[in-house]
């Protein structure tokens, strides 16, 4: 028994020393804010409103919220508990659970690395916009008299300036000249425009600024164009910020999260107040919330889009939550943390969507067009439609524009911390001797990602960006999440996983009062170890994610890639398949490698599919229920009576 006690104490000491070497959060608040910053990203501002617009407006909220509760929150909680209990990153967790499936973690790290490549390019775009605004060149994306503009550019701001700020529906600014259409009927005006200028393709000032100044875009992916040095400098600055924060570790990331996770909510509230006060804002809100198309709820595509957005928005399946939670204390209430992150993500999507649709309603009213004609796609919504709208909001335009892009920057950089940290944590956990050289590892990871991202600094970079953005969250993400759930529920066993939860959170007694019994019943149903979590993780989630993964494979085979009416050539299809399947390819390769290693070392096949000895030990504990005062007195009297009887019996024995 003494040897066993010494062994357990040494294991516990080893665990705590391992935890201290890896680092830990300064406070639970910093962990929550970092997770919120990681999950709440750019997709909440442009991707969710676009998906809502395409799938029934406000009706899309029903499948979105259902998917958040059914397949989002349970997996989010699962990843937090796995990282927190094992105190390991994704690269090591699944090797301890099932060596042949270790590739799940490295597949997640691979996908996070791929996301970080193009995600920081978006951060670089926001830095460029903020630089133009700070230097006083904010009018460049509102006017058509710049060197970059084509004869097909039209500017409503330039027209208003020509008429001393008054709106004229009979005139329009095109090809550097004010033209009179002779009618206030927008349909007739557009018809006369086509007669006068033929079928010329027009574009707004904000659109041309983004395409020809920020991107320096070419007409096809085959034409590389010129290297964009401004974008390169912005990208280097973005990676420098990420690298310096990651080198300092989770304590520094937690401090930065106090700003990056809270500022976006403050800014979106400011933009919301300004947006809903715009003329025509009610038109957008009416489409978004007040006039939903409930017929879309029965469509399979609507639920697929909702489920896909939930996965990408919450950041599940990318290993970021596993990495961040691995720096927690084992007893941390991550169930509460998962609920907070899920709520914050949903709130930003719905609330931000209201602000976005208010702006779209304003633009549609100003231009006498439908809301659908304003939206140019996800990227266009953030970098074209919004700047165009803000340029027509009056004297506060530069301030509002800077706040908007500052919000995009903080949203992007906070998510980028999580994506880049996954690769660094996976390497440090796989090779513990490299942990003392963390600065070198972080520098190499950031430099490698930036080097690959340089392809997006050329004129054809936007086409490669589209491929990365479109296929990173494809079938690999869905199948890896399904594999993650299968390993925990079948290989490790849900009962063992539940015991791990009990060792972290304790076993709560039923209690004595009516209220305590009700709380116990609710906890057993919807709590951390309740039936709701169990049924979702055992049955619903694996089936849904497997089906979504298979559907994504079918879509890749059957669909043709297109970006803004440009159809990609056939030679880009292998690139799409490579990006979409990167995580699964890593899983397969690591399964083969681990099988060869185990067999060469003379270990049995069974060892490849069972839990390893270095999986942390568990120590369950019971949370005692407090007795009411009356019952407490009765128990005290019972103890006294029992002790008296025992004394009498002892005296009799002595006699």
Tokens of 453: 């991202």
Tokens of 365: 């009213």
473 annotated as a binding-site residue: no
44 annotated as a binding-site residue: yes
Q: 120 Cβ partners below 8 Å, 6+ apart?
A: 235, 238, 239, 242, 412, 416, 449, 450, 453
* Alpha-carbon separation of residue 505 from 97, 334, 441 (angstroms): 21, 10, 34
Angle at 527 between CA 525 and CA 533, to 5 degrees: 75
The SS3 assignment for 53 reads helix
User: How many other β-carbons are positioned within 10 Å of the β-carbon of residue 558?
Assistant: 7
d(CA 394, CA 389): 10
| CA within 13 Å, CB half, 443 | 4
Task: Report yes or no: 416 and 116 within 8 Å, Cβ to Cβ.
Answer: yes
Is the C-alpha dihedral spanning 412, 413, 417, 420 positive or negative? positive
313 annotated as a binding-site residue: yes
Task: Report yes or no: 422 and 244 within 8 Å, Cβ to Cβ.
Answer: no
DSSP 289-338: IIS--GGGGG-HHHHHHHHHHHHHHHTTTSSHHHHHHTTS-TT--HHHHH
443 annotated as a binding-site residue: no
Residues composing the chain: 655
120 annotated as a binding-site residue: no
Tokens of 36: 């919120």
Q: 459 Cβ partners below 8 Å, 6+ apart?
A: 215, 216, 217, 218, 223, 224, 225, 226, 228
516 annotated as a binding-site residue: no
d(CA 359, CA 355): 7
Tokens of 308: 């896909």
d(CA 595, CA 602): 11
Give the DSSP letter of residue 626. P
Task: Report yes or no: 378 and 47 within 8 Å, Cβ to Cβ.
Answer: yes
Task: Report yes or no: 79 and 324 within 8 Å, Cβ to Cβ.
Answer: no
What residues are designated binding site for Na(+)?
A: 37, 40, 44, 313, 411, 415
**Binding site listing:** 37, 40, 44, 313, 411, 415
């Amino acid at each position: 028994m003494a040897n066993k006690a010494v062994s357990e104490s040494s294991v516990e000491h080893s665990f705590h020393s391992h935890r201290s070497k890896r680092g830990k959060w300064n406070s639970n608040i910093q962990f929550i804010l970092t997770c919120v910053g990681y999950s709440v990203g750019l997709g909440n501002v442009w991707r969710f409103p676009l998906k809502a617009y395409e799938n029934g407006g406000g009706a899309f909220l029903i499948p979105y919220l259902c998917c958040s509760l059914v397949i989002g929150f349970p997996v989010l909680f699962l990843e937090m508990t796995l990282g927190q209990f094992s105190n390991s990153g994704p690269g090591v967790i699944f090797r301890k659970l099932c060596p042949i499936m270790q590739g799940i973690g490295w597949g997640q790290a691979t996908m996070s690395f791929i996301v970080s490549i193009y995600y920081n390019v978006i951060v670089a775009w926001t830095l460029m916009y903020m630089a133009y605004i700070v230097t006083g060149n904010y009018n460049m994306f509102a006017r058509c008299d710049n060197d970059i503009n084509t004869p097909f550019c039209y500017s409503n701001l330039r027209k208003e300036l020509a008429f001393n700020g008054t709106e004229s529906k009979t005139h329009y600014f095109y090809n550097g000249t004010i033209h009179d259409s002779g009618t206030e009927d927008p349909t007739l005006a557009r018809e006369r425009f086509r007669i006068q200028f033929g079928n010329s393709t027009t574009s707004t000032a904000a659109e041309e600024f983004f395409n020809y100044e920020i991107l320096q875009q070419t007409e096809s992916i085959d034409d590389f164009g010129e290297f964009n040095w401004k974008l390169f400098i912005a990208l280097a600055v973005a990676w420098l910020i990420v690298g310096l924060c990651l080198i300092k570790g989770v304590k520094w990331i937690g401090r930065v999260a106090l700003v990056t996770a809270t500022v976006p909510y403050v800014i979106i509230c400011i933009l919301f107040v300004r947006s809903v006060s715009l003329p025509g804002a009610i038109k957008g809100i009416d489409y978004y919330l007040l006039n939903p198309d409930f017929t879309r709820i029965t469509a399979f595509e609507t639920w697929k889009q909702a489920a896909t957005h939930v996965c990408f928005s919450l950041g599940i399946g990318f290993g970021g939550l596993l990495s961040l939670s691995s720096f927690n204390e084992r007893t941390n209430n991550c169930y509460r943390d998962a609920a907070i992150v899920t709520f914050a993500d949903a709130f930003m999507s719905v609330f931000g969507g209201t602000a976005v649709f208010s702006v779209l309603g304003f633009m549609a009213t100003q231009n006498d067009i439908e809301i659908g004609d304003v939206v140019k796609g996800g990227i266009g919504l953030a970098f074209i439609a919004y700047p165009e709208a803000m340029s027509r909001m009056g004297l506060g335009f530069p301030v509002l524009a800077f706040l908007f892009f500052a919000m995009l920057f903080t949203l992007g950089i906070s998510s980028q911390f999580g994506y880049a940290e996954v690769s660094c944590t996976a390497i440090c956990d796989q090779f513990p001797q490299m942990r003392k050289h963390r600065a070198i590892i972080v520098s190499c990871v950031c430099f490698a990602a930036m080097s690959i991202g340089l392809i997006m600094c050329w004129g054809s970079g936007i086409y490669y960006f589209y491929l990365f953005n479109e296929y990173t969250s494809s079938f690999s993400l869905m199948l890896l999440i399904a594999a993650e759930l299968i390993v925990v529920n079948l290989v490790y066993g849900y009962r063992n996983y539940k015991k791990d939860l009990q060792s972290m959170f304790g076993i709560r007694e039923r209690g004595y009062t009516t209220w305590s019994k009700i709380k116990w019943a609710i906890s057993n149903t919807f709590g951390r170890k309740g039936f709701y979590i169990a049924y979702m993780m055992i049955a619903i989630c694996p089936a849904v994610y497997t089906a979504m993964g298979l559907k994504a494979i079918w879509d890749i085979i059957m669909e043709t890639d297109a970006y803004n009416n440009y159809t990609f050539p056939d030679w880009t299809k292998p690139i799409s398949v490579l990006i979409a399947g990167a995580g699964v390819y890593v899983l397969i390769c690591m399964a083969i490698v681990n099988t060869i290693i185990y067999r060469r070392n003379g270990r049995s096949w069974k060892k490849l599919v069972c839990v390893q000895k270095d999986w942390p030990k568990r120590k369950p504990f019971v949370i005692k229920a407090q007795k009411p005062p009356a019952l407490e007195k009765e128990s005290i009297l019972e103890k006294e009576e029992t002790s008296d009887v025992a004394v009498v019996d002892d005296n009799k024995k002595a006699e």
